[in-house]
């Protein structure tokens, strides 16, 4: 039986058209920020965030005041989540060791893992205050040892969101700004009169933030293209429709353009999930957003076998992939394109989003084919070095280098090697000739 779509989302051509409109608006906005700096940022803040203030960096007293508004219970929960994320990030950091070896007598090669020197962390907060994004970006950068970490989030209700500010501060942000969207990302990357530019941008965001990061890549580094959230469920008869529908809508509520896909080999589960989604949309408080995503980006794909399910899932390369089958580890061993896996019915994407410890900034739009998600290693640059300790080693390597350079026609390169052969090997060697 061929793969069957019981439900399809919006045609790809319509999605591409939407993306082109976003691209044009972002390009013009970034050019304005680069040309006019703080003036452009202020105008954009008033227009999109409804916030006007002399400067957008929070003072120490503003940070203290915002943090004081967070309840004791909420603060304890934030601390617990950060403890889990820190623990996993530290374990990841421990796997990244500096290396130094002697490859032949007298020749030393090595590498060092060096933190990026300044990072801008974007924390979404327009429709929903994404407190967890502060943990995922700021805290992970701190574990990596980044010496300057700045963080920005849009205002919520006309003011900095207290829990977001508290999470940024606890995670280790050195500068905190109340700016959202393209203006935040553009100001951090390009710099303004009041904001020194960073070397790298990280963090998720809506389609405009993701496109801004794409356009700024090269001017600064980025973690990855983390656009509107995506979720894909691989499920069989071992789970029920309520579980599948709940997990689909739990991610669809992120925004109007959040793909939510069920891949299954059970026609019964597919039909029941379709019905259960409609039932839950009648009682879900965020149904307006979730329903739009499900209508335009929701899919149910019926496959004939587990191998077909695997192939479909790898082709989609979704940001989040939940596996709820009788062979979860089989999928773990064979999946190769995704942001993060959630194995078994006991866990779910929300755990990863908020608290369990893995990072929730993950590749979208099929980027899981070539990159993983944000982790401590993204904030570290692995730089190699070399040194030669003996005259004998300098002459030996130099002779090989001389011949290999001339094999490619690079005489100037060869002379770099030849000069060492003459000086440290004591050999007579004509200019531009190959060493014996």
Read off φ and ψ for residue 330, nearest 5 degrees.
-60, -45
Do the annotations mark residue 254 as ligand-binding?
A: yes
CA distance 23 to 334: 35
Asked about 319 being catalytic, the answer comes back as yes
Token match 């089989």: residue? Answer: 330
Alpha carbon distances (Å) from 60 to 65, 68, 118, 177: 9, 12, 20, 12
Please state, in angstroms and rounded to a whole number, the distance separating the CA atoms of residues 88 and 9.
Answer: 36
Residue 102 marked in a binding site:
no
With beta carbons less than 8 A apart as the criterion, state whether 67 and 169 touch.
Answer: yes
- Estimate the crossing angle of helix 207-216 against helix 12-36, to 10 degrees: 60
Cβ neighbors of 256 (< 8 A, separation 6 or more) are: 289, 292, 293, 296
- List 319, 360, 396, 415, catalytic entry: 319
**Rounded to the nearest 5°, which phi and psi values hold at 317?**
50, 55
Q: Coil, strand or helix: which one is 387?
A: strand
Q: Is 84 annotated as a binding residue?
A: no
Is 360 annotated in a binding site? The answer is no
Separation between Cα atoms, residue 349 and residue 352, nearest integer Å: 5
206 in a known ligand binding site: yes
Please check if 183 is assigned to a binding site.
yes
> Which helix or strand (DSSP H or E) is residue 382 part of?
strand 380-388
Residues 77, 269: Cα–Cα separation, whole Å: 36
338 annotated ligand-binding residue: no
Catalytic status, residue 320: yes
**413 marked ligand binding residue:** yes
From 42, 135, 156, 320, active-site residue: 320
Task: Point out the annotated binding site for substrate.
Answer: 229, 251, 254, 320, 353, 408, 413
Q: Known catalytic residues? A: 319-320
Task: Point out the annotated binding site.
Answer: 122, 183, 206, 229, 251, 254, 320, 353, 408, 413
Task: Point out the annotated binding site for NAD(+).
Answer: 122, 183, 206
Task: Point out the annotated binding site for Zn(2+).
Answer: 251, 254, 353, 413
């Amino acid at each position: 039986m061929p793969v069957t779509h019981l439900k399809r989302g919006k045609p790809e051509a319509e999605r591409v058209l939407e993306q082109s409109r976003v691209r044009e608006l972002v390009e013009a906005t970034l050019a304005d920020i680069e040309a006019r700096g703080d003036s452009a940022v202020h105008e954009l803040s008033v227009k999109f965030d409804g916030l006007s203030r002399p400067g957008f960096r929070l003072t120490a007293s503003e940070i203290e005041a915002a943090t004081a508004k967070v309840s004791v219970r909420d603060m304890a929960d934030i601390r617990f989540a950060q403890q889990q994320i820190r623990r996993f990030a530290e374990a990841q950091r421990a796997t990244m060791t500096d290396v130094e070896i002697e490859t032949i007598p007298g020749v030393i090669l090595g590498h060092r893992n060096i933190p990026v020197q300044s990072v801008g962390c974007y924390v979404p907060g327009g429709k929903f205050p994404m407190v967890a994004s502060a943990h995922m970006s700021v805290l992970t950068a701190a574990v990596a040892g980044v010496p300057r970490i700045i963080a920005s989030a849009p205002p919520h209700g006309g003011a900095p969101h207290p829990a977001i500010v508290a999470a940024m501060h606890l995670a280790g942000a050195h500068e905190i700004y109340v700016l959202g969207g393209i203006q935040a990302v553009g100001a951090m990357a390009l710099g303004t009169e009041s904001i020194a530019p960073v070397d790298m941008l990280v963090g998720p965001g809506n389609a405009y933030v993701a496109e801004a990061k794409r356009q700024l890549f090269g001017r600064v580094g980025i973690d990855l293209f983390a656009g509107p959230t995506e979720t894909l469920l691989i499920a069989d008869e071992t789970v029920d429709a309520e579980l599948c529908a709940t997990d689909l809508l739990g991610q669809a509520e992120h925004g109007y353009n959040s793909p939510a896909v069920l891949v299954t080999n059970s026609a019964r589960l597919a039909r029941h999930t379709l019905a259960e989604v409609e039932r839950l949309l009648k009682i879900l408080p965020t149904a307006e957003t979730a329903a739009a995503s499900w209508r335009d980006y929701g899919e149910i794909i019926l496959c004939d076998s587990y191998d077909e399910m695997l192939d479909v899932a790898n082709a989609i390369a979704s940001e989040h992939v939940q596996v709820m089958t009788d062979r979860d580890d089989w999928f773990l061993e064979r999946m190769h394109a995704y942001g993060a896996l959630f194995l078994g019915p006991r866990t779910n994407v929300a755990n990863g989003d908020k608290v369990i410890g893995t990072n929730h900034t993950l590749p979208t739009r099929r980027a899981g084919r070539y990159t993983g998600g944000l982790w401590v290693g993204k904030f570290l640059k692995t730089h190699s070095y070399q040194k030669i300790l003996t005259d004998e080693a300098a002459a030996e390597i130099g002779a090989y280098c001389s011949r290999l350079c001339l094999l490619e026609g690079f005489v100037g390169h060869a002379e770099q090697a030849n000069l060492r052969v003459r000086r440290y090997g004591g050999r007579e060697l004509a200019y531009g000739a190959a060493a014996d």
